[in-house]
Structure 1
Amino acid sequence: MNQYQKIIFVDSSDTTRSPMAEVVLKSMKMDYPISIHSRGLVVLFPEPMNQKAEAILISNGYGSQKHMSKPLTQDDIGDGSGVLLLTMEDSQKEKVFQEYSNLKHVYTVREFLGHSGDLRALYGAPLIEYGLFYEVLKGLMEELVIKLCEEEILE
């Protein structure tokens, strides 16, 4: 049985890093079906994906995105079993622990993969920084697929 049935990437606004992670991971081959989403901790109303983030995804062959930001809710987490919450920063992980219950698997993306440090915020950064972030993110998503598939084999 798969340890995780759902992955939720969590960021502040759900307009840049978390939807990029969702799109990149969804494009990768997984050994078992898994639901992949992105959510924000501070979403007052739905907003489209950041234009620079979308431009980078398009330039890397992902096509136009129809993403609209959504807030993380307790319904997304449910009873917590089978849900892997991956935040972009440690402070976001702490906020998740403060505001939600039934949390069983909450990590920063880098922490889950055995690395340290946050995925830096891109707000106000030039387009080239978004491109560099994409390269880092793609590598992390490749590591994530390998880790999830290895965990599946060990179960």
Structure 2
Amino acid sequence: MTRILFVCTGNTCRSPMAEAILRSMGIPGVEVKSAGVYAQDGSDASEHTRTVLAEEGIDIDHQASMINESLVNWTSCILTMTESHKAAVTRMFPNAAGKIFTLKEFAGIEGDLDIIDPFGGPAEIYRKTFNEMKIAISEIIKKL
């Protein structure tokens, strides 16, 4: 069983979107969750996250979670949305350093390793973020 944990800041935009994208692919033997480095437990996914996923025919049932030791122990691989998230998670859980990567790094995408943060922006930037993540997730499933 491969267990993927996507991590962003508040666990309301990028990481739940990535979780929903990967989950919608229905890959046997792959489980997925998401969390945030500064999440408020129980928060809903943002309105534009839900809208963009609905446009793509992807269901989401989400409540934000703060990253914690239990999730870190559960996962095979932690994929962060930015290099600063990767650094934060590594500081918080140094024993997990070997399984922490940015999503783009793990996907083998070169250049800027950060996924665009759409928080507070219009739906169009959420669509751009969705497309950026879908490309990266399509690459990581080849490795799973």
Segments of 5+ residues of structure 2 without an aligned counterpart are none
Segments of 5+ residues of structure 1 without an aligned counterpart are 149-155
Residue 75 of structure 1 pairs with residue 70 of structure 2: yes
Matched residue SS, 1:147: coil
8 Å contact from structure 2 (residues 23, 32) kept in 1: yes
8 Å contact from structure 1 (residues 7, 35) kept in 2: yes
Partner of 1:100: 93
* Distance in structure 2 (CA, Å) of the matches to 1:22 and 1:94: 21
Matched residue SS, 2:5: strand
- Given candidates 80, 91, 106, the residue that maps to 1:112 is 106
Partner of 2:79: 86
Give, as a single letter, the amino acid of the residue that structure 1 aligns with 2:90.
F
Instruction: Using the TM superposition, give the Cα deviation of residue 29 of structure 1 relative to its aligned residue in structure 2, in angstroms.
Output: 4.1
Among the aligned pairs, what percent are the same residue?
26
What TM-score, normalized to structure 1?
Answer: 0.84
Superposed, 1:122-133 pairs within 5 Å as 122-133=118-129
Residue 121 of structure 1 pairs with residue 114 of structure 2: no
8 Å contact from structure 2 (residues 40, 64) kept in 1: no
Partner of 1:57: 53
* Distance in structure 2 (CA, Å) of the matches to 1:67 and 1:41: 16
8 Å contact from structure 2 (residues 7, 79) kept in 1: yes
* Distance in structure 2 (CA, Å) of the matches to 1:86 and 1:61: 24
Partner of 1:135: 131
8 Å contact from structure 1 (residues 18, 38) kept in 2: yes
* Distance in structure 2 (CA, Å) of the matches to 1:37 and 1:114: 21
Matched residue SS, 2:95: coil
Q: Deviation digits for residues 2-48 of structure 1, max 9, x if unmatched?
A: 6xx21000011000000000000011142x41210000111233200
Matched residue SS, 2:141: helix
8 Å contact from structure 1 (residues 49, 69) kept in 2: yes
* Distance in structure 2 (CA, Å) of the matches to 1:138 and 1:113: 11
Q: Deviation digits for residues 85-133 of structure 1, max 9, x if unmatched?
A: 0000000100111111431211000111122320011112111111122
8 Å contact from structure 1 (residues 77, 102) kept in 2: no
**Which structure has the bigger radius of gyration?**
1
What TM-score, normalized to structure 2?
Answer: 0.90
Aligned length: 141
Residue 28 of structure 1 pairs with residue 25 of structure 2: yes
